[in-house]
Amino acid sequence: MKNVKRKIGKLATKLIVIVFVMSSLQATARNPYEFSVYAGGGYSFFIFRPYTETVPIPRSHIEQPSVNHTSSSGASGDLGVGFTGFVAPQVGLHIGLGFGITNIGVKVDSIKAFSPDLIDANGLDFDLYTALFNYRETHRTFCLSIPLMFQFQSQQDNYSWNRRSTVSQSFYAMAGVKLNVLLSKSYESSIKTLRNEAYYPEYNNWAATQTFAGLGNFKGRNANGNIGYIHVLFSFEAGMKWRISDNMFLYTGPFLDFGLNDPTKNSRTLISDYDYINPTDLDLSLMAFSSQTNMMTIGVKVRLAFIKYSNQLSCPQF
């Protein structure tokens, strides 16, 4: 908990510094700035990088799981406000504050793991082969979203501050990072079947029906919980900026968010870490079936911006 508070404290400090710098730029350069409200929605999914090793038969010392057919899909949306301070007619610094939600489902046909050199109740050495079938996850997230981005927009006619511009639209692009502070991050996981098989190399024999010893086929279970604190994403947005009136603009365009870290990483456990003796009593939680997991969202965003001109300068020519 102390580590979480420390991280949030560092984040708050960085945000204060950024706001101070932007305020200073605006005060010294006397450039226009925008206040905006935005809303967006899109399609979210996970990008998995499965372990490349395969489950060995009958014997090896590779302990990473092998995975068969993984997919994910879901929806996301966000709503918030923003502030953009222009340091030049075509360049601005943008900071925002909003709320975001995601709901992503994950499907895995099978996850297989290998645990070598175990000892049974009779003192015999064996290798354990474990398989999960029809594994499912559902992630639901509610977060505080803080975008920190550079904004670029096309230049029209000449590089000047011209309030009388008749140009009604221009191209814009934004790039930077987005910090999602996870206020609520819940998951549900389930499997349909768990199977354990033991191979005894000394006797070149398999044991797969002794359910009293944790070997055989077992019915799956469900689990749920909460995980994660801060999700860091690279964010890119581009589109058109439409002039509605002298002081009002409408931004419309697609966006892409790509997760740079995985908040679920420390909450996942390898199948081989579970005690095979009582598989019916296991809370399987979240399974580690990928060496790296990144979330990606693609969608469309709409932003309504109100520009504030300085007393000395007119607005940039958009």
Domain borders along the chain are 2-308
pLDDT at 73: 93
Q: What is the pTM of this model?
A: 0.77
Mean pLDDT computed over 89-103: 91
> What pLDDT score does 297 carry?
95
Query: Given this model, what pLDDT does residue 137 score?
Result: 92
Token pair for 202: 């000394």
* Fold annotation for 2-308: Porin (2.40.160)
Is pLDDT of 174 > 90? Answer: yes
Q: What is the pLDDT of residues 16-63, one digit of tens each?
A: 555 545 554 544 356 778 899 999 999 999 998 876 545 444 444 445
* Token couple for 35: 């206040």
Q: How many CA atoms lie within 13 A of 110 on its CB side?
A: 12
255-288 pLDDT, tens digit per residue, is 999 999 888 887 887 776 666 777 766 666 788 8
DSSP state at residue 213: G
Which of the residue ranges 67-76, 112-121, 147-156, 285-294 has the most confident prediction, judged by mean pLDDT? Answer: 67-76
- Residue 302: HSE in the Cβ half-sphere, 13 Å Cα cutoff: 2
